[in-house]
Structure 1
Amino acid sequence: MDFCALDFETATHERNSACELGICVVQNSSVVETKTWLIKPPSFPYFHQRNIDVHGIYPDDVKDAPTFEDIWYEVEEMMYGTLMIAHNASFDAGVLKGCFNHFGIFAPKINYLCSIQLAKKSWNYLPRYGLKHLAEYHNIQFKHHRAGDDAEACAKISLLAFEKLFLTSNEEIADFMKGKIKSI
């Protein structure tokens, strides 16, 4: 089973305002790499205080950081040809699309799945399906609302869900989650 888990943190409510990106690469059902980039958003130096309160990233933290356009080639290489999974995937897919549109980047076809939907199929008795609650339930330690940690926690939760659902390949995921896998 091969996929990448992805998470964005944003500077404002604008979908193109990525200020941090984390990707966790899973190959043969094992986490092989997690990478995080701080990103200088188009709104720089403006960050909305509500966003800072969530992730703790300040304009000063990204003043010398690359833009999304600067890191896209490396990100695309890590994601190439794999299913993207994100917790609340519509948000992260929206940020990815917002960044593509802002920088005029040709958007490759990316299939994505929401780990919340996967968790609900796997543990339908839980009262909440937020990343923090699922991580606590599975004893996964991470620093919430930091992109690399969130992406890795999402990957680990997804692997546990696939195991619980007896899904062992990308083809089985596609069959089981029919209609839940979307495309950018």
Structure 2
Amino acid sequence: MNIPTAAEILEALSLAQPRPTSETPRDSRGIYGLFDHSGVFRYIGSTSSANETFYKRIHQRHRTGSETTSHYFSRMYNTGRMWRLRNDPATKLDGDIAKALRNTFIARNCGAVCFPLPDHAPIARLEAEVIAMAPSHMVAWNRNGMEAYEEPTRLVDALIEDLGMSPFERAAIRRQRTRFYGNAPAVETPGPIQTLPTGPFKFFAIDVETANNDRGSICQLGLACVRPDDTIETWVTLVDPQTDCWTFTGLHGISGEMVRGAPTISTILEDIDGLLSGQTVYQHSGFDRSAVRAACSSLGRPEPAWNWRDSVGVARRAWPELSGNGGHGLAALKAHLGLQFEHHDAGEDARAAAQVVLLSERKRA
């Protein structure tokens, strides 16, 4: 078989129609091109290694590999809600959810073209020659020539809806977007309990999610810590309720597998009690206090001495017009006040309750 010239390979790549990464050849290797989500040719590479096919290199490495190496799809779409900080134990759970979203985004919205070559072809040399003669837009990603894209918001929104991502997953990728743009992160990890924020604080808001109808089966707990300048630092953790009954997974998206290795509620309460003892702690309705009380009862320990308040009562006094017109639940207040949060995620709901209190204070001022 005659070996084609670099010019012939470049022309063939330029004229080929990109296909999804999952359709790249599994039994051949050679030179290939990668296309971004807008259909523009951006990168030229090769499967110069004898044991690497197009499929392995493109679908299994460029798409799902490390964001910090030469896996260019992963690098270029490590952005916004698809962003992950590799090997960061404090954000691993959120990061894994963001990475899975990114992998699916690339599979659905990006593409590749391939030019197979025989094993005896000088693939590495031909690749260098093709890159040298390619127009700049076709090698824009080569040698880290471009920064990661801004998040393609419309496409990501559509994908999230199509995947039916749970409140827990949506909250995780919202936190990743917050971290990507440099705001203070919220901790979310199933590992050992993370360091709590340090004060001073004006007040706190708390929210819990449970595994089932047993109010003591707390599987996620979130704290919104409100500083004197009204900024909010959110701390959220998964909790292992040590149950096999997961009735509410469809509501919040948390499962028994997710909480494996997470701290128990006994450990959580011991840790946060030092921060919250004697402090004002808001809940939105009476559920959260009753859940903490039920958990304490099952542990044979007294309920913590926190100064409980109810942000529902605060909302009723601040916005009486909502009575009989949607009510004062978080979902109704979200629409009325323009709040941005994922309902049925403990960290997001705690933050929303704190925002309700702060907005009511501003309304009275």
SS, match of residue 258 in structure 2: helix
Match of 2:319 among 87, 99, 123: 123
Cα displacement (A) at 1:78: 2.9
User: Unaligned 5+ residue runs, structure 2?
Assistant: 1-200
Other-structure match for 2:6 = none
Q: Amino acid of the residue matched to residue 145 of structure 1?
A: H
Other-structure match for 2:268 = 71
Counterparts of 1:16-165 in structure 2, within 5 Å, are 16-42=216-242, 44-48=243-247, 51-88=248-285, 90-126=286-322, 127-128=325-326, 129-165=328-364
Kept in 2, the 8 Å contact 1:24–1:31? The answer is no
| Bigger strand fraction | 1
Other-structure match for 2:206 = 6
Distance change (3 Å), C-alpha of 1:15 and 1:66: same
Cα displacement (A) at 1:29: 5.0
- Which stretch shows the higher mean deviation, 23-32 or 155-164? 23-32
Kept in 2, the 8 Å contact 1:24–1:33? The answer is yes
Deviation track 1:3-48 (CA, whole Å, cap 9, x = no partner) reads 1100010011112100000000112151342111101114x22211
SS, match of residue 257 in structure 2: helix
Kept in 1, the 8 Å contact 2:278–2:305? The answer is no
> TM-score under structure 2 normalisation?
0.43
Q: Once the two structures are aligned, what percentage of the paired residues are identical?
A: 31
Distance change (3 Å), C-alpha of 1:98 and 1:109: same
Kept in 2, the 8 Å contact 1:31–1:155? The answer is no
Could you tell me how far apart the structure 1 residues matched to 2:274 and 2:287 are? 22
Could you tell me how far apart the structure 2 residues matched to 1:75 and 1:47 are? 25
SS, match of residue 76 in structure 1: helix
SS, match of residue 338 in structure 2: coil
Could you tell me how far apart the structure 2 residues matched to 1:78 and 1:147 are? 18
Q: Amino acid of the residue matched to residue 135 of structure 1?
A: K
After TM superposition, the runs of 4+ consecutive aligned structure 1 residues lying more than 3 A away are none
Bigger RCO of structures 1 and 2 (CA < 8 A, at least 6 apart): 1
> TM-score under structure 1 normalisation?
0.82
For these two proteins, the number of residue pairs brought into alignment is 162
SS, match of residue 25 in structure 1: strand
Distance change (3 Å), C-alpha of 1:159 and 1:153: same
Deviation track 1:128-181 (CA, whole Å, cap 9, x = no partner) reads 211022122222211110000000011011110122123xxxxxxxxxxxxxxx
